[in-house]
Amino acid sequence: MDGPSLQERYAPDNACFGCGPANPHGLHVRSFVEGDECVAEWTPQPHHEAFPGVLNGGIIGAVLDCHANWAAAWHLMQKSGAETPPCTVTADYAVKLLRPTPSTVPVKLRSVAKQSTP
């Protein structure tokens, strides 16, 4: 994943905790376009742990939320032909953690936007 991420390209001054390039204390999630998917690889640090070797669930949630929001923004840009992303926010959010997430390896994300029906 070379070059600027979606966040760096379209929101370099954003201070979002999860994905803002301008937040010196943030997670710095970096999302990239691969075909019709948005992908990211994020490496946890020891201070992101719930306990040794296990990533904190809230941190997982922030990583997922930010990456999914950028996937949605990219999808909307492609659909409308826009040159800049629209403002997107999370309207509904639920995560079911099936097992502990190791904090000793990178977290890999793949997102495909799906339009919901009302």
Q: What is the DSSP string of 74-111?
A: HHHHHHHT-SSPPP---S-------SPPBSSS-EEEEE
**Position 1 in a domain:** no
**Position 16 in a domain:** yes
**Position 27 in a domain:** yes
Task: Residue 71: give its domain's CATH number.
Answer: 3.10.129.10
Distance CA 15, CA 17 (A): 6
Q: Over the stretch 7-28, which tens digit does the pLDDT of each residue have?
A: 999 999 999 999 999 999 999 9
**Position 84 in a domain:** yes
The pLDDT of residue 118 is above 70: no
Tracing tokens 């890999």 back to the chain, one arrives at 108
When divided into structural domains, the chain yields a total of: 1
**Coil, helix or strand at residue 49:** strand
Q: How many CA atoms lie within 13 A of 50 on its CB side?
A: 10
The whole-model pTM stands at 0.91
- Note the pLDDT of residue 20: 97
Q: Over the stretch 41-72, which tens digit does the pLDDT of each residue have?
A: 999 999 999 999 999 999 999 999 999 999 99
**Position 81 in a domain:** yes
Q: Over the stretch 56-113, which tens digit does the pLDDT of each residue have?
A: 999 999 999 999 999 999 999 999 999 999 988 888 888 898 999 999 999 999 998 8
The pLDDT of residue 116 is above 80: no
Q: How many CA atoms lie within 13 A of 71 on its CB side?
A: 22
**Coil, helix or strand at residue 100:** coil
Alpha-carbon separation of residue 58 from 18, 37, 48 (angstroms)? 11, 24, 9
What does the chain come to in residues? 118
